[in-house]
Structure 1
Amino acid sequence: MFLIPRTRSPYPTEFREHIIALARSGRSVESLAREFEPCAATIHLWFKEAQQDSGERDDGVTSAEREELKRLRRENKVLRQERDILSKAAAWFAQGEIPSSRSSGS
């Protein structure tokens, strides 16, 4: 799998929290987007995530749930790979073939 590197690092948590606090105080997302670098869609996403994390919204997963889901998906992938390897090894041993040194004489 080829991963495309990020062009820049994500915004620091403190910056996000500052933008969210400004939005909560009544500033419009569009004015924040003009004044600061993130686009309005990004700020809307941050605000929605903050509301979900604080329990103000229940129409999505919290950050903790999202992290747990990512961790479980990674773990599930590893377990599938291990299962596939064990399945292939079991099938190979079930055939009764035991590796031995073969002599070149016939």
Structure 2
Amino acid sequence: MSKQRYPEEFKSEAVKQITEYGRTVADVSEHYGVSQHSIYQWLKVQRTFVGERQSQLSQSAELRYLKKELKRVTEERDILRKAAAYFAKQFR
């Protein structure tokens, strides 16, 4: 039994039929002439990819937030240093 390779566009279109258009795996399998097992595997890979992508997006959003917060805190620190130097100079 030889494994047939399908292009990524073909796989994504078959998965799209299920996820976006609400067709059943059996319908898509029959329409495209692919085993249901293959389509279930493609769905699994796509869901894993989407999960990883969401994780990366949340990490990048957190990184952006932390960089923004670091910039704000650094500016506050610099202002406080200047104020402390100014008041120390006046106090003398």
TM-score where L is the length of structure 2: 0.50
Higher relative contact order (CA 8 A, sep 6+): 2
Structure index of larger Rg: 2
More helix by share: 2
